[in-house]
Amino acid sequence: MTRIVFVRHGSTLWNKEKRAQGHSNNPLDEEGFEQARLVAARLQKQSWDGIYSSDLLRARQTAEIISSRIGITDIVLDSRLREIHGGMIEGTTDEERVGKWGENWRDMDLGIESPAECMARGKQCIEEMAEKYIGQNLLVISHGAIIRHTLKALIPDFQTEELLLNTSITEIVKQGDGWNCIRYNCTEHLASS
């Protein structure tokens, strides 16, 4: 049984401002660093065989805090774990998008990556990990939309409408040819803060 635990990155200022982050390379804010320390303390209680991360700064910073706590110094950065690309909307709020492109901005071609593209790259990345680390436990530090789209690609009937919270834990296991999600959007480590 191969086990993969996804961790969404910690909070950023843009999260609070409700700005589309996409491939923007913005850092964690003070709360995000604290969230990362709390999830790291939770993950330290388990045994891990490897840690992967999106190469974007907010995910890398979260991964670095976790890796120092669990004792794995080699973080594998993979651009396929990046958030869904936001094209021209990156850095904007919904209000700003409506002001610039109108109420129907979602119907316009603004260079936003499609869910299908996001699902394909996420699934490919996770399936490669599962082949390389058969029967092992991996941590994957990434972003809300890519994690949800990847889950949908791996487990088509799984409901992923609930948005993932910062530093939430989502756990999947591969048994035989199929994947199963055994934990989704768990933030019990934040209850102590």
In the chain, where are the structural domains located? 2-86+114-192
Rounded CA-CA distance 86/104 in Å is: 16
Rounded CA-CA distance 102/94 in Å is: 10
Query: How many residues are there in the chain?
Result: 193
Indicate the DSSP class of residue 21: -
Does the annotation place 14 within a ligand binding site?
A: yes
Q: Where are the beta strands (DSSP E) in the chain?
A: 2-8, 50-53, 75-77, 137-142, 169-175, 178-186
What residues are labeled active site?
A: 9, 83
Over its C-alpha atoms, the chain yields an Rg (Å, rounded) of: 16
Does the annotation place 9 within a ligand binding site?
A: yes
Indicate the DSSP class of residue 18: T
Q: Which helix (H) or strand (E) holds 30?
A: helix 30-43
Does the annotation place 69 within a ligand binding site?
A: no
Q: Which residue has the tokens 């019990």?
A: 188
pLDDT of 165 strictly over 70: yes
Does the annotation place 12 within a ligand binding site?
A: yes
Average pLDDT, the chain: 96
Triad 155, 78, 87: Cα angle to 5°: 80
Q: Which residue has the tokens 């994690």?
A: 147
Instruction: Average the pLDDT over 23-36 and give the result.
Output: 97
pLDDT of 184 strictly over 60: yes
**How many Å separate Cα 60 from the centre of its chain?**
11
Class of domain 2-86+114-192: alpha beta
Instruction: Supply the pLDDT for residue 175.
Output: 86
- Torsion angles phi and psi, residue 35, rounded to 5: -60, -40
pLDDT of 177 strictly over 90: no
pLDDT band, residue 193 (cuts 50/70/90): low
Instruction: Supply the pLDDT for residue 192.
Output: 65
Rounded CA-CA distance 59/28 in Å is: 8
Rounded CA-CA distance 4/28 in Å is: 23
Instruction: Supply the pLDDT for residue 169.
Output: 98
Instruction: Supply the pLDDT for residue 176.
Output: 86
**DSSP β-ladder status, 75-77 and 50-53:** parallel
Does the annotation place 13 within a ligand binding site?
A: yes
Does the annotation place 179 within a ligand binding site?
A: no
